[in-house]
Amino acid sequence: MGLSATEAPAAGPFGERILEFAALCREIRHASECADVRLCDVAAGRRPSLENLHAYLALRAHDLRPLQQALDRLGLAAFEHAEPHVLSTLDAILANLCLLGGQQPDPALLPPGNRAFGLGQALLQRNTDLLFGPPPERRRTRIMITLPDEATEDRLLMQALLKGGMDCARINCAYGDQAAWSRMITQVRDAESVTGNACLVFMDLRGPKLRTGRMELEPVVLKIRPLRAADGRVLRPARIWLTDSPRPQPESLAADASLVLDGAWLRQAAEGDRIRLRDARGSSRNWRLVEVSGSGCWAESRKTTYVANGTVLCLQHEKGHIAAETTLGSLQPRESRVAIRPGDALYLAREDTPGTPSIHDLEGRLLRPATIPLGIPEVFRDARVGESVGFDDGRITGVIERADSDVLQVRIRHTRRPLEWLSSDKGVNLPETSLDLPALAGEDLRDLDFVTRNADIIGLSFTNSAADVRFLRQRLQELGREDVGVIFKLETRRGCANLPEILLEAMTLPNFGVMIARGDLAAECGFERLAELQEDILRVCEAAHVPVIWATGVLEGLARRGHPARAEITDAAIAQRAECVMLGKGPCIKRALETLDALLAGMQERAYKQQPLLGELRLAQPSD
């Protein structure tokens, strides 16, 4: 189909605009026809997508706003949903411009000769169904859920998630091991057979994510306190579950504290007995046993008690004599945390030794900065003074003041709260540092065989370049699993900047998609840029007819605390522009799933991708 227009100067007020637009059209068509000849092994059926992506990138290389505003004033909705069919959109605009200017357009530009408008949407739908399977009945956008640890054992939870609308179960391979992942997969498959609902398994490789290393251990002091009114009156005694079993028990969840004690000592206990002790502060305390069962005892305390390993508990029968003593020793040491305030210094150390917390004086002044290990040596090679550092998804940010071969000194510039706490296994972002780390290495390479044999879709974390795509494809070829679905996760500035080349290289694969990993992306690029970035990623992927996963932070408050913020509902509603939406973990995940399912089903009647769908206006409640 040609984009032809008269080459002679056109008459009338539209002549200059027609010639300007015709020149733009020729440039874009040339870019499409010159689609990257290096990709001669582009996967079957991807050639139209490859050409459309080239056309879209060429179009967006221009600042189209002046032309767009001029065309809008003529009643031409220019470029408003051009992504899936760029050349067809330009054809239609040029034809309408010619008609408005009193010229006869090329017949090839006029409907019904131009049949390409539906092709882009059909290709995106085909690629989405290939990656995620057929859409559910009520909605076209799929729902992915990150499986919590309890999913390894809780069959009812998994069945409830499938019944509630989970289309894809995500296993985060940054945690657990192959045995735990196998148990999760078994639970998914068992739940499929029970519910009759299909569910894909998505296994997310670790990738080279920077994380804080292990901190030194510190003894645990457990504070047990009753529930008090504002005036200090005891409304309910503290309830303490005493057992000899280290395994989790239902009673432990209902208790204010759970202590594992010697079984022979517990078997001497009877209802009404007292437990006397001197707590970790040296205060005398008296607990009363209110219930004894075969699995343990319930004790109550009306005063706050601090217990630690070494605390001696004396069992006293009702008659007053001490029956037996036992010493608490089951409290597991825990890793220390670092107190962080704006203005503090912090050391990042290359050595693989436990980190140490900071020391402050009584007035809160910093005496010794905290030291936190960082396990990727390339950081100390590439980081430079003046570059920014973020911790824990941007909750803490600072700047490098000194950079040595084994230590980085960071000055904290901002914390979300006046006092923040930083512990082990928290993300570290170096958005301004040129780190050349492969997306697939180390443990991921060792796990890849297991993952490709057990997952329907695999995720390549921290995809930064076309080289990452090529290396993964080579490994999949060696394993004979080129057919497995692949998700390329965008989590860094570099990955966003290289998205076009990542997509062009990925078109050699038969089945792939993109994830907008908004947590790391916001920390890397700044929260103020996140909305702009996710918009651009959605548009570029639509031009390539590539499905997108909208991930991180969706209905997070609802999943974790049982009630959403207003902004979360709006965010989740906008998420229907992606082909799949990911929910994170949380105790209220079933309610979050129910809410998201209803939101996506409702919003698909009002919008498709960037295009609003103008149904009947409904401002009143349905019952009105």
How confident is the model over 452-502, as pLDDT tens digits? 999 999 999 999 999 999 999 999 999 999 999 999 999 999 999 999 999
Residue 1 confidence (pLDDT): 38
- Residue 301, classified by CB atoms within 10 Å of its CB into exposed (0-12), middle (13-18) or buried (19+), is buried
Query: Which amino acid does the sequence have at 327?
Result: T
- 470 shares its domain with 581: yes
Asked if the model's pLDDT at residue 353 lies above 70, the reply is yes
Q: Phi, psi at residue 177, to the nearest 5°?
A: -140, 180
pLDDT at 111: 57
Q: Quote the DSSP letter at residue 215.
A: B
pLDDT (tens digit per residue) in 116-162: 688 899 999 999 999 999 999 889 999 999 999 888 889 999 999 99
Q: Do 450 and 537 belong together in one domain?
A: yes
Which pLDDT does position 532 carry in this prediction? 93
CB 239 within 8 A of CB 255: yes
Work out whether strand 338-340 and strand 420-422 pair parallel, antiparallel, or are unpaired: antiparallel
- Where residue 302 sits, what CATH number does that domain have? 2.40.33
> CB under 8 Å to 411, separation ≥6 — which residues?
343, 344, 345, 346, 398, 399, 401
**Together in a domain, 508 and 579:** yes
Residues 446, 591 share a domain: yes
Q: Are residues 469 and 581 in the same domain?
A: yes
To 5 degrees, how large is the angle CA 4–CA 42–CA 551?
100
Give a yes or no: residue 10 inside a domain.
no
Domain boundary, last residue among 327, 345, 360: 327
Q: With respect to residue 562, please indicate whether it lies within any of the assigned structural domains.
A: yes
Which two structure tokens, joined as six digits, stand for 229?
A: 């009114």
Nearest partner of 98 among 87, 83, 112, 108, judged by Cα: 108
pLDDT tens digits, residue range 555-597?
999 999 999 999 999 999 999 999 999 999 999 999 999 999 9
Residue 126 lies in a domain: no
Supply the pTM of this predicted model. Answer: 0.84
The pLDDT of residue 8 is: 45
Q: Are 522 and 530 in contact (CB under 8 A)?
A: yes
Grade residue 352 by pLDDT with cuts at 50, 70 and 90: confident
Per mean pLDDT, which range of 87-91, 304-308, 420-424, 492-496 is the poorest?
Answer: 87-91
Residue 593 DSSP SS3: helix
Q: Helix or strand or coil: residue 61? A: coil
Residue 2 lies in a domain: no
Q: Which domain holds residue 556?
A: 133-208+437-612
* Helix, strand or coil, per DSSP, at residue 544: coil
Same domain, 236 and 175: no
Does the residue 37 lie in any domain?
Answer: yes
Residue 579 · residue 538 · CB < 8 Å: no
pLDDT tier at 383 (50, 70, 90 boundaries)?
very high
Sheet strand arrangement including 322-327: 257-260, 238-243, 296-301, 284-293, 274-278, 312-316, 322-327
- Across 601-619, b (16+ Cβ under 10 Å) vs e yields bebeeeeebeeeeeeeeee
Q: What is the CATH number of the domain that holds 570?
A: 3.20.20.60
Residues 405 and 514 in one domain: no
| Predicted pLDDT of residue 49 | 93
Number of domains in the chain: 4
Average the pLDDT over 47-63 and give the result. 93
pLDDT digits (tens, 9 = 90+) for 218-264: 989 999 999 999 999 999 999 999 999 988 788 888 899 999 999 99
- Residues 229, 183: one domain? no
Distance, in Å, from the CA atom of 251 to the CA atom of 570, rounded to the nearest integer, reads 39
In the chain, the amino acid numbered 174 is A
| Listed residues 327, 347, 378: the one ending a domain | 327
Q: What separation, in Å, do the N-terminal and C-terminal C-alpha atoms of the chain show?
A: 52
Q: Are 90 and 3 in contact (CB under 8 A)?
A: yes
442 and 582 housed in the same domain? yes
C-alpha 619/C-alpha 28 separation (Å) is 43
Instruction: Look at residues 174, 258, 255 and name the one whose alpha carbon lies nearest to residue 208.
Output: 174
Are 166 and 298 contained in the same domain? no
- Over 90: is that where the pLDDT of 33 sits? no
Contact 11, 469 (CB under 8 A): no
**Residue 10 in this model has a pLDDT that exceeds 60:** no
Residue 124 resides in a domain: no
CA 19 to chain CA centroid, nearest Å: 47
* Token couple for 342: 């704006």
Secondary structure (3-state) at 351: coil
Using the predicted structure, report yes or no on whether residue 351 has a pLDDT greater than 80.
no
- Computed over every residue of the chain, the mean pLDDT equals 89
Domain-embedded: residue 476: yes
Is it the case that residue 5 has pLDDT exceeding 70? no
What is the reported pLDDT for 7? 44
Alpha helices in 133-231 (DSSP H): 155-164, 178-195
Indicate the helix (H) or strand (E) that contains 619: none
Interatomic CA distance for residues 367 and 218, integer angstroms: 19
Check whether residue 275 and residue 310 sit in a common domain: yes
Cα distance between residue 242 and residue 232, in whole Å? 26
State whether 349 and 391 are in the same domain: yes
Among 387, 407, 429, identify where a domain stops: 429
Specify if 310 maps to a domain. yes
Write down the pLDDT at residue 74: 81
Please report how many Cα atoms fall inside a 13 Å half-sphere around the Cα of residue 432, on the Cβ side. Answer: 13
Of residues 576 and 364, more confidence is placed in 576
Looking at the predicted structure, is the pLDDT value of residue 73 above 60? yes
Contact predicate 373/353, CB 8 Å? yes
